[in-house]
Chains A and B, each alone.
Chain A
Amino acid sequence: MRIVKYKTNIKCTGCIKSLTPVLNAIDNIDSWKVDLNSSDKVLEVEIDDDNKETVFNAVKDLGFEIEEIQ
């Protein structure tokens, strides 16, 4: 179990709505949330394994910008 944080441009609840089914369906994501109040719109994801690709690709495919925060 590890937590990964990303900087994104997910700005509103509408974006979250489109993101929800996709992220929910990804097998190794345990939980996730977007902090709309932060300036970086941080997406925090708890994943089961080390495969961070799935999250990154899924968000990217939906047309959002995503960048991991180290």
Chain B
Amino acid sequence: MKEQYKIVGMTCATCAISVESYLKPQEGIIDVTVNYPNQTVLLEYDHSKVTLENIQQKIKEIGYTIVVGNTQDSQKIFKKLEENRLRSLKFKLIFSTLFSIPIFIMSMFLMGKIPYENWIMMVLSIPVIFVSGAEFYTIAWKKLKHFSANMDTLVALSTGIAFLFSVFNTVYPHYFISKGINPHVYFESAVIIITLILLGRFLEEKAKSKTSSAIKKLMSLTPKKVTAIRNGEEVIISYDEILKGELIILKPGDKVPVDGKVKKGNSFIDESMISGEPIPVKKIKGSKVFAGTINQKGALRILADKIGNDTLLSQIIKLVEQAQSSKPTIQKMADKIAGIFVPVVIGLSVLAFIIWYLLGPEPSSTYATLALITVLIIACPCALGLATPTALMVGIGKGAEQGILIKDAQSLETAYKIDTLILDKTGTITEGKPQVIDIIWDKNIVSTTLEKVVLTIESQSEHPIAEAIVQHLKKITTELIAIQSFQSITGLGTEATVNNKRYRIGNENLMLQNKINIPNTLQQKAKSLKLEAKTVVYISEQDSVVGIIAVADKVKETTISAIRKLQKLGIDIHMLTGDNEQTAKAIAQQVGIKHFQANVMPSEKGKFVEQLQKQGKIVAMAGDGINDSLALAQADVGIAMGSGTDIAMESAGITLMQSNLKLIVKAIQLSKATMKTIKQNLFWAFIYNLIAIPIAAGMLYPINGFLLNPMIAGAAMSMSSISVLANSLRLKNSTI
């Protein structure tokens, strides 16, 4: 029994590990995989040994909540909880800002001018510390129990000590005064750190990926109302009421609501969203049809075999969500640094204590304690929380300007590392729809009349290739000629009489069956076109072929140069397609891709990505169809084409508005630039505080009797914030 649930209350990647390790040893649990960015848990458990309620209870014990219910409901509940979280974060931020501003003004500009100023500042900072800042202390406490540290630990440690020390100095100022030391308070430093870190969290939460709603997109692919035949009568029912075994009528343009087979009628169905192939597929009695595809011009009656969650489309979406849920999170760089920084700072403060205690002037124990406390107070940079989100926001904004929509900040943080790129063929490398490449007339043929004839005949046809020919010819002429007779021959082409002459337009078999002579030159041309995987349409007048038309899905103009650029960046490129071997080979050669695979099923695309990942590659996948969505979700960086299906865009972290592969190069450059900015930001955030640590430890004391005071803490605070903001804005003006 494998089921996926939303889980609420996880605030860091470690929470995910704790849920996993807590549940795994429980009786009846076979496997647990928690996906932190998606906030979901994939549970595999034995029904006979443990119930879902029990598991829920267990998770509650460690402070998390599993949302049970069907997928749509839980999506809704989860969205609401997510909104609540953002709202509470916003409230905390506003709350702490309101109280921090007066404290800041008092300590920076009005020092010594207001009676009882320390008491006022203390009262004002209590709500900031205990309401807005509460989560830092709880998380830090949980971390401490595991002997690990992250950003929250650093914030909690620094602000907590600053607050307690200041409270002590406010209530018992005489203690330090009696020992000849000026009792400083650091309320402003504590509250401003909390406010700024909350601001960073808020910005980041807003930039974080919107909860993926592939299921919702699935709903948009299925019709709301369906015409079914019940007891001999046509009735309109809603999608949810469809029963298995039901006969459903598909009118031209209707979306197919179920997986099933054709009982009656002929039509072409556009299956590009599932197969990725642009040419609609002919459907006759007995042909299989799939939910989410679109009926073209004919009417069909179909028998519903699989409905609702059993359709191929639903299966793909389920796999997509599972792939998303098994994706590992990358640890935030700020957390990584904090994890190392915290023990180092604690070590330094203890060292300062020992040195002061042993070598310091009397009262040495007081000086030693003071040094320990001030080192801890100065350790947390104010701008720490701003370093990552400001850079990501500028990076995401810069991407949007260029038509690169970044839905998931994690893709931006990963894209610069990719070493393998997988491209879908149809719609990604190519335009995605058949187009006339060339029309070749036999020598001595005057083409002007013939063009009109072909346009007239092909306008009558419903075949998708005929449509491409009409589109092309309309650019040359729009004049139609009167037709005397018209007949379409399934699987071969059309026959028509115009101006008392018999014309045939269709494939080679149509010509051979009617014993029509094909001139040698045209035969040669056709042969070489077919080798390039192009579809050749023959045109005959009376009993000989007068011209041929080559139709193919054209490679986008920008593709070849983009691929060359990506290869220059050292990225290995693979092409996967559901199309046949010959076409795949021709296209791969044309665009310069060495590795390609043809006849690939949607699930195989996902597997292929997984295999490469197992070899240690960082894989990006670019595609546009539902058939690509599993691979898009599985890849480290999924890149969807803006012209593609919604589900592909939901599965991918990045969407390219112009479906131009050159934008992939830009996305990689943008990722590089953003990561560089994040690193620089962290440097600027820490550097002032790092410089201040020796002062706090009392290094300058032997030279000029200088100890840390709030002015230095304040200067480090403002300098680090200004430097970080300025550096992030620099990214905005960089050329990418």
Contacts and interface: CB of A to CB of B under 8 A. Distances in A.
Contact of B243 (A20, A22, A31, A33): A20
A1 to B, nearest CB: 12
A16 to B, nearest CB: 5
Q: Which of B232, B233, B244 has the most CB of A within 10 A?
A: B232
Given A24-B303, A25-B303, A33 B233 contact: yes
Contact of B232 (A17, A22, A25, A44): A44
Contacts of B229: 31
Interface size class of A (residues with CB under 8 A): 10 to 19
Contacts of A22: 245
B492 to A, nearest CB: 26
Contacts of B247: 24
B231 A33 contact: yes
Q: Which of A13, A17, A20 has the most CB of B within 10 A?
A: A20
Contacts of A17: 243
B264 A30 contact: yes
Contacts of B245: 20-22, 24-25
Q: Which of B231, B233, B243 has the most CB of A within 10 A?
A: B231
Nearest to A13: B231
A66 interface: no
Interface in A13-64: 13, 16-17, 20-22, 24-25, 30-34, 44
B184 interface: no
A32 B613 CA distance: 55
B231 A24 contact: no
Contacts of A34: 231-232
Contacts of B246: 20-21, 24
B244 A21 contact: yes
B230 interface: yes
A46 to B, nearest CB: 9
A16 B243 CA distance: 12
A6 B264 CA distance: 24
A32 B301 CA distance: 14
A25 B246 CA distance: 9
Nearest to A21: B245
Interface residues of B, number: 13
B554 interface: no
Interface string B210-251: 000000000000000000011111000000000111110000
Nearest to B305: A25
Contacts of A13: 231
A24 B229 CA distance: 9
A20 B243 CA distance: 9
A26 to B, nearest CB: 10
A24 to B, nearest CB: 5
Nearest to B286: A27
B263 interface: yes
Contacts of A20: 230-231, 243, 245-246
Q: Which of B229, B245, B263, B264 has the most CB of A within 10 A?
A: B245
Interface string B571-594: 000000000000000000000000
Nearest to A34: B231
A34 B232 CA distance: 8
A70 to B, nearest CB: 21
A37 B13 CA distance: 66
A30 B247 CA distance: 11
B310 to A, nearest CB: 14
A1 B726 CA distance: 81
Interface string B695-710: 0000000000000000
A24 B264 CA distance: 11
Interface string B256-294: 000000011000000000000000000000000000000
A34 B229 CA distance: 13
A22 B243 CA distance: 12
Contacts of A32: 232
Contacts of B232: 31-34, 44
A38 B517 CA distance: 65
Given A21-B246, A24-B245, A16 B231 contact: yes
A55 to B, nearest CB: 14
A64 to B, nearest CB: 14
B287 to A, nearest CB: 14
Interface in B287-325: 303
B101 to A, nearest CB: 69
Contacts of B243: 17, 20-21
Contacts of A31: 229, 232
Contacts of B244: 21
B541 to A, nearest CB: 40
A30 B285 CA distance: 12
A18 B233 CA distance: 16
A43 to B, nearest CB: 10
A17 B245 CA distance: 10
A24 B303 CA distance: 7
A20 B231 CA distance: 8
A30 to B, nearest CB: 7
Q: Which of A22, A31, A34 has the most CB of B within 10 A?
A: A31
A31 B232 CA distance: 6
Contacts of A30: 264
Nearest to B244: A21
Nearest to A18: B245
A34 B245 CA distance: 17
A16 B247 CA distance: 13
A25 B119 CA distance: 84
Contacts of B264: 30
A2 to B, nearest CB: 16
A13 B231 CA distance: 9
Nearest to A48: B264
A8 B83 CA distance: 59
A31 B263 CA distance: 11
Interface string B500-527: 0000000000000000000000000000
A13 to B, nearest CB: 8
A44 B303 CA distance: 20
A11 B677 CA distance: 76
Contacts of A24: 245-247, 263, 303
A3 to B, nearest CB: 12
Contacts of B230: 16, 20
A31 B234 CA distance: 11
A49 B229 CA distance: 21
Nearest to B230: A20
A17 B244 CA distance: 10
A33 B232 CA distance: 4
Nearest to B263: A24
A16 B230 CA distance: 9
8 contacts: A20-B246, A21-B246, A22-B245, A24-B245, A25-B245, A32-B232, A33-B233, A34-B231
Please give me the 5 A-B residue pairs with the lowest Cβ-Cβ distance, nearest first: A21-B245, A33-B232, A24-B247, A33-B231, A16-B231
Given A20-B230, A25-B245, 20 more contacts: A16-B230, A16-B231, A17-B243, A20-B231, A21-B243, A21-B244, A21-B245, A21-B246, A22-B245, A24-B245, A24-B246, A24-B247, A24-B263, A25-B303, A32-B232, A33-B231, A33-B233, A34-B231, A34-B232, A44-B232
